[in-house]
Chains A and B, each alone.
Chain A
Amino acid sequence: MKKLFFSLSIFVLSLKVFAGAGPGIQHLRVVWHEDPAHEAYVMWTTDKYKTKSYLYYDTVPRKGVLSKYRYKNNAKTKPILYTLDTRHKSKLKKLKPNTMYYFMAVTNGMKSKEYHFKTAPDGGVNFKILFGGDSRSDRPKRREINRSLSKMLESDDSILALCHGGDYIANGLSWKQWKYWLEDHLLTVTSKGRMLPVIPTRGNHELASPLFNDVFARPGGLFKKNYYRIKIGDFSIITLNSNVSAAGRQKRWLKKTLKKARKDSKWIVANYHRPLWPAVKKPGRGIKHWVPLFEKYQIDMAFESDGHVLKRTVPIYQNKQDPVKGIVYVGEGGLGVKQRNPKKDRWFLRSPGYATSKHHVMTLEVTPSRMIYTVDLPDGTVFDKMELLPRKR
C-alpha cells in the first residue's frame, strides 16, 4: 500500500512538473521551417480563445521581467480544430544567426517561464542536428528518450534542433494524443530552460490531419503540402512528404530545389517518412520518382522512418552497391515506438550496412570538411559512426 501511495505521489508530482510551461500556458515549443538562422516559430496552447497573446524575447536572459525584454511580438491565436483549446503562434523574424534567444509567452496576463533556444548559424560554424522518427504508441519509452535528448542538449552546446521524421502519435486526428506528445516534448528542455526546436515531417499516422499544421505552423507554407528545404549555411535538409503524390508537384519541386541546392550547398540530405530502401516493409512510391533525382544530384545521405528499426544501407546507386556514387539511407524510427525485427537478408542491408532492433537517435555533425553521422542509444552509448566527405556534383 505504501509503495502504491509512493508511486502515485511520484506520478502526480511528475505530471505537475512536466504538464506544461506554466499555469494556463502549455506545450511551449520552437518550430523551425526554411530559414532557422533568421526565423523561428514559438508556439503554445491555452484553453481560452479571444485572448491577447504576446511573446517577449531578447538575446540576453531577463529572468521574467517583461519590461526588460527588448522585443515583443504579437502571437496569432486560433482555435484548434475539434477541440476547446487555442493555439498561439508567434513568428520571430530577422533573428541574428547563431544567437541564443530568451523568451517568455504571455497570454491574458498569464506568463510562462523564461526559456531559450539558439538560432542556426549562417555558415562557418560547426553544428549538430538530431534526427529520428516514430515516437508514437509507447509513451514511457518516448519520455525516456526525450529525457536522454535533454541530457544530450545539456552536454553539447552545438546541438541545434531535432529533425523529427514523422509518426509523432498513433492517430493524427486525436488532439488528446498530440497533447501528450507536446507535454512529453517538454522533457527535452534542459534544466537551464534551453529548448530543442523541432523540424517537422509528416508521417503516415499524421496522414492528412489538419492538427499537424496546427501543431507545427504549416511547414512548407500554404500551397506546398508540407515539403520544404531548410538551409543552414551550406547545409540543406530537403524534407519531403511521403503522404502526398510523389510524382506530381512534389517531384517538380524536388528537382528544382536539388538543382538550386547543388549550387548553394556543400551538404544535402533528404528527410522523409516512408522508407525507399526499407528494412521491414515495402518501399514507398518515392523509390520511382525521388531516388533517380537523389542520384542525379548526388545528395549526401537520406533519413527515413516508419519501419521501427535501426538501419543503415550500403551506398546505393542505380540499384547496386556503389562506394563512390552511392547514397546511404539511414534511420527507420526509434524515438519511442516499439521496435520490430528487421528483414536483414535484403541486399542493401549487408555489411557495411546493417539492420537491428534498437531505439535510437541519430546525430549529424556538420563541419566544413566533413559530416559525421553517429547513432546514440538511449543509455548514451554510441552504436554507429560514419564520416562523409564532400561530393563532386
Chain B
Amino acid sequence: MLSTEGTNDKKWGNFLLLALFLQISAWSYEAYFNSTVINSVFFLNLNLSDSFATAFDMVSSFVLLGSFALFMVTKRAFLLLIPTLYALALPICQIILHSSFAYEYALLSNGARIGLPLVLYLFYKGEQVWSIEKRFIIRFAIAMTFVGHGIEALIEHPKFIDFLIESSSIFLGYELTEGSAIQILALIGAADIVFAISGLIKPRAWIYTWMATWGLVTAVCRLVYFQWDGVFPMLLRSAHWALPALVVWTILEKRKAAQPWKVWSSVKG
C-alpha cells in the first residue's frame, strides 16, 4: 500500500497526465485538421511529397493519441517518449523553417511542453516519486518557457501586442494603443524572465503560484482572442500552468501545509 506521500505523488502524476492529454489532443487536432511545421519541413526542406507530409501529420495525430491511450492501459513509461520526441521535433522544425516570429527561441519557449511528457516518463520509469532531480527538471522546463516568452515579449511579438489590444477592448471597453501595449509587454517580459530565474535559483510558492496563474491566463487568452478556434491553442498550453501548479504543491507539501485551509498562510510564508 502506498504511503500518503506516495498517494499524493500519484495524484499529481495523474494531474500531469491530464495536462498531457490536453496537450496531445491539441497536437492531434492541429496535425489532423491543419498542418504542422514538421509537415512543412518534410515538404519544403526534405523535398518529400505533400501527400506524404500530410499523411505523416495524420498518422502522427493517431500515434500521439494511441500511444497515450496505450500508456494509460499498460503504464509502460517508454510510450511517453513518443510525445516527448514530438514536442522536441516541433521547435526544431520551427528553427529549420525560419518562418515564425522569434523562431530562434522556439526551443526555450517550448520548454514546458517538452518537459511535461519528459518528467512523466521519468516519473513512471522510476519509483513514481517527485524526487529532487525531477522537480529540478520541472523547474528548468518552466524557466525555459518563461524566459522564452519573456524574450518574445521584450522583442515585441506582434501576436502578444494584438492579444493585449483585443483583451483591453473586450474587458476594459477601451482599445490600448500599440505603444502602450508594447510598454506593458516590456514589463510582462521582464517579469517573466525575473520570475523564471528567481524560481530556478530558489523555488518559492508565491512565485510559482504567480507562474501557474499567468500560464493559465495566457492560455485562456487564446480563447478570448480566437473564440472557438482558440480552444486547441489554449489546450496546447496546458503545461504552462500545470507544471508550476505541481511545483507549488511540492513546496507546500514540504511545509506540511497541503491542506486547503492552510494554503494561504503557507503561500504568505
Bind each other: yes
- Asked if A245 contacts B165 (CB within 8 A), the reply is yes
Query: Could you say which of A281-289, A320-328, A384-392 contacts chain B?
Result: A281-289
B50, CB-defined interface residue at 8 Å: yes
- Tell me, in angstroms, the Cα distance from A282 to B35 when the chains sit together: 9
Query: At the interface, yes or no: B5 with Cβ under 8 Å from chain A?
Result: no
In the bound complex, residues from chain A placing their C-beta under 8 Å from that of B100 are 204, 207
* B44, CB-defined interface residue at 8 Å: yes
Min C-beta distance of A114 to chain B, whole Å? 38
Cβ < 8 Å to A, chain B residues 65-105:
98-101, 103
Question: Does the CB pair B158–A246 fall under 8 Å?
Answer: yes
| Residue of A with least CB distance to B166 | A247
The B-contacting residues of A in range 198-216, CB under 8 angstroms, are 204-205, 207-208
Would you call A280 an interface residue if the criterion is a C-beta within 8 Å of the partner chain's C-beta atoms? yes
Q: In the complex, are the beta carbons of B43 and A340 less than 8 A apart?
A: yes
Among B51, B103, B162, the residue within 8 A (CB) of A248 is: B162
Tell which of B50, B98, B103, B158 touches A245, judged by Cβ atoms closer than 8 Å. Answer: B158
Q: In the bound complex, do residue A337 and residue B44 qualify as a contact, i.e. CB atoms below 8 Å apart?
A: yes
Q: Which residues of A242-267 are within 8 A (CB) of B?
A: 243-249
Supposing A170-B98, A281-B35, A282-B34 touch, asked if A249 and B158 sit within 8 A by C-beta, the answer is no
Minimal beta-carbon separation of B151 from chain A (angstroms): 14
With contacts A207-B98, A243-B158, A248-B178 known, is A280 near B35, CB below 8 A?
Answer: yes
Residues of A within 8 A of B44 (CB): 137, 170, 337-338
Q: Does A95 contact B (CB under 8 A)?
A: no
Once bound together, how far apart are the Cα atoms of A246 and B34, in whole Å?
22
Contact with B along A159-180 (1 / 0, CB 8 A): 0000000000011110000000
Interface membership of B198, Cβ < 8 A: no
Main secondary structure of the interface of A (DSSP, over half): loop
Residues of B within 8 A of A337 (CB): 44
Q: Count B-side interface residues using an 8 Å CB cutoff.
A: 25
Q: Tell which of B34, B50, B98, B159 touches A285, judged by Cβ atoms closer than 8 Å.
A: B159
Indicate whether A318 reaches chain B with its CB closer than 8 angstroms.
Answer: no
Q: Hey, which chain B residues are within 8 Å of A338, CB to CB?
A: 43-44, 47, 50
Q: Is the CB of A204 within 8 A of B99?
A: yes
Interface string of B131-166 (1 = CB under 8 A from A): 000000000000000000000000000110110011
Question: How distant is A11 from chain B, measured CB to nearest CB, in Å?
Answer: 20
A341 interface residue (CB < 8 Å to B):
yes
CA–CA, A15 to B35, complex, Å? Answer: 37
- A285 near B162 with CB under 8 A, answer yes
Report the Cα distance A249→B179, complex, angstroms.
9
A316 to B27 CA separation, bound complex (whole angstroms): 30
Residues of A close to B35: CB separation below 8 A: 280-281
- State how many angstroms separate the Cβ of B203 from the closest Cβ of chain A: 35
Tell which of B34, B51, B165, B178 touches A341, judged by Cβ atoms closer than 8 Å.
B51
Q: Answer whether residue B7 sits at the interface, using C-beta atoms and an 8 A cutoff.
A: no
Q: For residue B106, give the distance in angstroms from its CB to the closest CB of chain A.
A: 13
Interface centre among A170, A245, A246, A341 (most CB of B within 10 A): A245
Tell me if B229 and A282 are in contact (CB < 8 A): yes
**CA distance in complex: A199, B258 (Å):** 63
Whether B101 lies near A289 (C-beta < 8 A) is: no
Verify A205–B99 contact, CB threshold 8 A. Answer: yes
B177 at the interface (CB under 8 A from A): yes
Query: How distant is the Cα of A249 from the Cα of B34 in the complex, in angstroms?
Result: 30
CB distance from A308 to the nearest CB of B (A): 8
> Does B54 have its Cβ within 8 Å of any Cβ on chain A?
yes
CA distance A238 to B1 in the complex (A): 70
Taking CB atoms and an 8 Å cut-off, the chain A residues in 276-297 that contact chain B are 280-282, 285, 288-289
Among B34, B158, B166, B175, point to the contact of A244 (Cβ < 8 A): B158
Docked-complex contact A248 and B166, CB < 8 angstroms: no
Q: Told that A204-B100, A340-B50 touch, could you supply 10 new A-B pairs with CB distance under 8 A?
A: A205-B98, A207-B98, A207-B103, A243-B101, A246-B162, A247-B162, A248-B165, A282-B229, A288-B225, A338-B43
Top 10 closest A-B pairs, CB basis?
A: A248-B178, A245-B161, A247-B165, A247-B162, A171-B98, A245-B158, A249-B178, A204-B99, A340-B50, A341-B50
Question: Taking beta carbons and an 8 Å cutoff, which residues of A are in contact with B?
Answer: 137, 170-173, 204-205, 207-208, 243-249, 280-282, 285, 288-289, 337-341, 357
A-B contact pairs, 5 of them (CB 8 A): A172-B98, A247-B161, A247-B175, A248-B177, A341-B50
